[in-house]
Amino acid sequence: MKYSFDGFMKLYLDGTPDRTIFEGDWVRKRRKILKKPRKYVVNIHLMNRAGERAVTAVRVLIRSNDRDLSAIIFKYADAMVKENKGVDIVLANSYAVVRT
């Protein structure tokens, strides 16, 4: 898949904003990227205590602006956690990778 910007944003699902990682264009052009509504490709990875994948990664296409993007990602992650109640999922180890 061809993306408009190089790199990605890695957002940890425990809600700690200072753990967010930016790579490529996201480092310098983050405001430009998030300024207007865009189509984002989000891969959500739910991990267990050992840091291994607990659930198959899910790819979601989202059209959003910066205010709604993280809320939508957390909503999808919560739904995945509820759907997999018996699985050992640790949100501090889980993350979403966002590209556009």
Q: What would the pLDDT profile of 53-84 be if each residue is shown by its tens digit?
A: 988 889 999 998 777 899 999 999 999 999 99
pTM for the predicted model, two decimal places: 0.91
Q: Give strand ranges (E) for the chain.
A: 7-12, 21-24, 38-45, 58-64, 95-99
Distance (Å) of CA 1 to CA 41, 42, 99: 10, 13, 10
Query: Which token pair is 73?
Result: 């990602």
22-48 per-position pLDDT tens digit: 999 999 999 999 988 999 999 999 999
Residue 93 confidence (pLDDT) above 80: yes
The confidence score (pLDDT) of residue 56 equals 86
Give me the pLDDT at residue 82, please: 93
